[in-house]
Amino acid sequence: MEIVKEIKRLKEIIDSAKSIVFLGGAGVSCESGIPDFRSNLGIYNQKHNINPEKILSHNFFMNQPKIFYDFYKEKFLYLDALPNPGHFYLADLEEIGKLNTVITQNIDGLHQKAGSVNVIELHGNVYRNKCVKCSKEFDIDYIIKQANPVRCDECNGLVKPEVVLYNETLEEDNVINAVNSIIEADLLIIAGTSLNVYPAAELIRFAKKKLLINLSRTSKDIFCDYVYYGKFGEICKEISLKDNWQLYLKVL
């Protein structure tokens, strides 16, 4: 493991890769104002009456949907959040043909907002919602406007956000596509994730070379070829393909 300290060296590692895949987590969106789970200010370290892991489980959703929705709408819907330089940098790498796939554990849709096209959302997306009874689909406006718990306007069934809750399995196609894209790439950039959530964390073992960019240490740093500690968005400003990263803001 090489601890990379200089931006110049980091740029060299990325420049010398021909095909890159990115695997990211909640930390990537922290600089867009969305808290992660496990940092000091993260959702798990805030005061709650009920353990968030319990609320975010399939059984809890089915049995206590009102409490689930109260928590979910307050803590997970950041609909005004904008992509940060980290999201934009990845979209630029894809545009020039260097990056094949963004694999994200995030459910906020910010990679697509920044312009990334080939995005695998391992844990789903808050913008898609479906009735558990009749499968009618609902957009995010419906979710916001309805009282909790959100029910289907056709059959009165519960409407469930298409996000993967604890005790639910990931979509098989997403996992297969993620594994294949990592196997084919010559560099996996991992960022903004504690690598505590499985099976997402397991994916890194399929990579030929791993570059981790994270604010804090993870239990998997030693399995990475290169490790850089810092804020992903800040770092991406430095290695940005645009002369002035503020140009990004005009795109929105």
Find out whether the peptide bond into 65 is cis, omega within 30 degrees of 0: no
What mask, x for binding ligand NAD by CB under 6 A, covers residues 24 to 43?
Answer: -xxx-xxx--x-xxxx--x-
194 binds ligand NAD (CB under 6 A): yes
Using the minimum distance from each CB to ligand NAD, give the nearer residue, 29 or 181: 29
| Least distance from ligand NAD to the Cβ atom of residue 156, Å | 29
The full 3-state SS of the chain, as one line of letters, equals CEECCCHHHHHHHHHHCCCEEEEECHHHHHHHCCCCCCCCCCHHHCCCCCCHHHHCEHHHHHHCHHHHHHHHHHHCCCCCCCCCHHHHHHHHHHHCCCEEEEEECCCCCHHHHHCCCCEEECCEEEEEEEECCCCCEECHHHHHHCCCCCECCCCCCEEEEEECCECCCCCHHHHHHHHHHHHHCCEEEEECCCCCCCCHHHHHHHCCCEEEEECCCCCCHHHCCEEEECCHHHHHHHHCCCCCCCHHHHHC
Contact between 249 and 87 under an 8 Å Cβ cutoff? The reply is no
| Least distance from ligand NAD to the Cβ atom of residue 43, Å | 6
Using the minimum distance from each CB to ligand NAD, give the nearer residue, 101 or 193: 193
**In angstroms, rounded to a whole number, what is the distance separating the alpha carbons of residues 49 and 97?**
47
Using the minimum distance from each CB to ligand NAD, give the nearer residue, 122 or 152: 122
The one catalytic residue in 48, 87, 111, 123 is 123
Count of residues interacting with ligand NAD (CB under 6 A): 30
Q: Is 123 a catalytic residue?
A: yes
| Least distance from ligand NAD to the Cβ atom of residue 58, Å | 14
| Least distance from ligand NAD to the Cβ atom of residue 249, Å | 18
* Binding segment (CB under 6 A) for ligand NAD, from list 10-18, 111-119, 137-145, 190-198: 190-198
**In angstroms, rounded to a whole number, what is the distance separating the alpha carbons of residues 205 and 160?**
32
Using the minimum distance from each CB to ligand NAD, give the nearer residue, 181 or 218: 218
112 binds ligand NAD (CB under 6 A): no
Q: Considering only residues 17, 85, 103, 108, which one is a binding residue for ligand NAD as defined by CB under 6 A?
A: 108
* Binding segment (CB under 6 A) for ligand NAD, from list 21-29, 112-120, 131-139, 237-245: 21-29
Q: By CB under 6 A, what part of segment 130-189 binds ligand NAD? A: none
101 binds ligand NAD (CB under 6 A): no
Task: Dihedral sign for Cα 33, 38, 42, 44, please.
Answer: positive
Interacting residues with ligand NAD (CB under 6 A): 25-27, 29-31, 34, 36-39, 42, 105-108, 123, 191-194, 196-197, 214-216, 218, 231-233
The set of catalytic residues is 123
